[in-house]
Structure 1
């Protein structure tokens, strides 16, 4: 049978006025026109705005603010001159206090919806640097023939085109200040049309650039990047194909290229490679780790299990307080990095193992031991499978660090069914000016 295609209804061309009733989880204003729900980018709850339609669906429409007719008291002047065009941030028009309140409300709603519970105590929001905080980023690159220059940055809102920006106030200052110099360097390259992406990664005092190139880079172009690294005190990597092809071209000495960051509260240093997962916001991370360990109430006779441990961001600090710590991670390279970081900090009471935490763990050697406290820091998909494996430890306390309130709430429901109570929870502003919600929760038997 031939499939029938419906012609897409053309969008109204004239702007319309809408009263914004609330805010969606994605940070868009929500209102109604002729009874139909409309999501409006750039609008805040309680505002009356003039908007234009950007998309129409069967059950709802989408639009963006053209003019604010009656502003919310939460509306502020965005700190970035490119805001509204660049899609990297979505909430710079909202005061920081209002952003936090919105994220706390999302967490509260998710606990109620998925777990039918809420914490006995709401923790105050953990906040730190609001600008210049982003130490890792993947930036799009495109040489635009019509403009005869290279664009570097994030995509435009509602578009696949790269935003034309010359700085980014949420990136660490060093990288933000290099956006235009990197653009000019690529302009001068023979292979300027074959650079689709640049990744940046920052340690406490070193900065790495990974240049993705789709065709072999000429010696002349490579020399330009090496010179750029020398001039700007950068570590330069090239990536001709997949992640396993990343290789350093400057400096020659691995010691001079080593990225690292410290946890001053524990007097430890962790080494990392530029593609390693690391918390994006260094200032929040320095507060978050001691905060989590304080909630876990780690004592000198505790045996602690750290799940989804990565390179040891929590594991190494935990080992300075506990009797013994075991870190479990699914990526072998991160397990090796964790072991190296334990050796770097001269800690002999910590072990690292690789394991698929979504699989059956009954035969794992580390799973035969007992732990009285557990820390979990999973990816966005959460920790549902591993929770069913670890409740048998009957740990007195579990601290769960989450980057997705929906999966945290879902997993909370499982922990509650297994005999735990949600004692404390709150948000951490890991990504200010975005709708990303980082949170932390304490469970007790």
Structure 2
């Protein structure tokens, strides 16, 4: 956790409360006024009153529409005619494409060649022209800037722009109207546009409201910037929407001035949060959208007794990845398991094991035999059995029963 400098008056920052109110007036009726609802179950789980802002219910399933639309509506007639460009492989691309085309503004999006096909297809589906260039985001960004200069496009930055920040800040206005008791915001940080907008609103209130940022442990870029540390940045994170190596200069200025703390969360806590939100709230969020809940799970004592607003900032997660996250969560809870059992290679050996599974009312899903690639003698074999149990105590009873029958058994653990 990084404690930040004391906050000066909000008027010292580049975006004001008036800017956010103006943004709300501009975008009203063109973005979904998503609900802010208290989660009774999650509140009990973390020991605080938890309010969820369902920004995953926007048309493009992410909050990015707000800042993008606020920016587009402030372009001149000439800028609209020439069109806009952005470098993005995520929610910014879709939000800009959807509202740009809806307003009759040509939109070009530059994406790295490694961008998943589904994201390219979704962005093109909104009417944008997609250009695949470079192997990394930095190369795509550089190419977008070249096209901006050569074609006269207006570049729309995903976070480092006061118009973007003001648009994202409209989320906090709605949350405080719907849940005036909120005394803390816990907000994901990538480039910093979302938390900058929310902090601008929160710190302009007549009562103290704490603003806490959340970053994935693999991408602590804003944490490093404001705390003066140099934690390593990089790796495969579930929270790809906030996997930003370099935060914005404008947003870093606002974060330093207005944000109280930044906390880091692990990949495991992000996975658990995605799964909990689906199971408890029946809502699909991407990794970045679950970061606020992950912070509450990781730092329960930090937030105990508070009235906390968290933003489910996006719901664009690959279905195969979501399935993997859910299965891993089942495995960690003991409801899905793989047991490795040593057997003798003779008739009836597997039947004896299966009989114990039956007696313990455990469902067998898959069985894998391994006779060749093993260090056991030629008459020995390893059998991996995937099974489904009610809970961890049920799994423990099964393992005890197998060992009582003189089977050598071990649980194949997840990382």
Q: TM-score, normalised by structure 2?
A: 0.30
Larger RCO, structure (CA 8 Å, separation 6 or more): 2
| Higher strand residue share | 1
| TM-score, normalised via structure 1 length | 0.28
Higher helix proportion, which one? 2
